[in-house]
Structures are given as C-alpha cells and as structure tokens.
C-alpha cells in the first residue's frame, strides 16, 4: 500500500538547508520515492501547523519509506536537518478515497 512521508520544516540554518536539499532527491528516488509537493507557503486551515515549508514524498510502501528514513545513507542528512531546522514528520499509509462514497 502506498505510503506518504509528510514533513513540516522551519529552517534556521540556510547552509544546512542547502546541503540537505542538494543531496536528498536522489536518495529518495533510490528507495522508490517521489516528491508529491514541496511548498513554502502552506495555508493553515485548522490546528497548529508550523508556518514553514511543507514537503510530501510518496513511497510504494510503508516498508520502503521506513528503509529510506532508517538508512545509513540518510542518517547524515537527518542529523543535518535536526540540527538546522525545527521539524515535524509523519508517515501515513493509505490510498486515495473512492470517487464517490460507498453505499
């Protein structure tokens, strides 16, 4: 089942952000992922979302997303992000709802 990693990132260190975004795309693709959206201007409709960048990556499965996130290759990038940004991240498994409600 498809899985989505959703990140809210508020960078405080521009150099860390640059290093992270330069190396990340190829690594995500290596684990079967692809970018769905990356936006610096999310609009909060409800709740207490961070005002920073919102990024969504799609993976073929929760296992693939977890392999990416826990990989030795991602570890240095993760450390860079954790030091240079405030971030929330979740993993959501599922698929798009049907076009019409089930009866």
Query: Which 3 state secondary structure label does DSSP give 35?
Result: strand
pLDDT band at 100 (very low <50, low <70, confident <90, very high): low
Q: What pLDDT, on a 0 to 100 scale, did the predictor assign at position 58?
A: 96
Residue 1 class from Cβ within 10 Å (0-12 exposed, 13-18 middle, 19+ buried)?
A: exposed
Does residue 36 register a pLDDT over 80? yes
Q: What pLDDT, on a 0 to 100 scale, did the predictor assign at position 101?
A: 63
Q: What pLDDT, on a 0 to 100 scale, did the predictor assign at position 44?
A: 85
Question: What pTM did the predictor assign?
Answer: 0.83
Mean pLDDT of 37-49: 87
Mean pLDDT of 75-86: 95
* CA 67 – CA 65 distance, rounded (Å): 5
Does residue 66 register a pLDDT over 70? yes
């Amino acid at each position: 089942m498809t899985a989505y990693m959703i990140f809210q990132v508020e960078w405080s260190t521009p150099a860390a952000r640059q290093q992270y975004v330069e190396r990340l795309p190829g690594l995500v693709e290596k684990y079967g992922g692809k970018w769905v959206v990356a936006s610096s201007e999310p609009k909060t409709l409800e709740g207490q979302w961070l005002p920073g960048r919102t990024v969504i990556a799609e993976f073929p499965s929760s296992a693939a997303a977890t392999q990416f996130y826990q990989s030795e290759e991602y570890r240095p990038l993760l450390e860079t992000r954790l030091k240079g940004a405030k971030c929330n991240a979740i993993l959501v498994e599922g698929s798009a709802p049907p076009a019409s409600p089930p009866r």
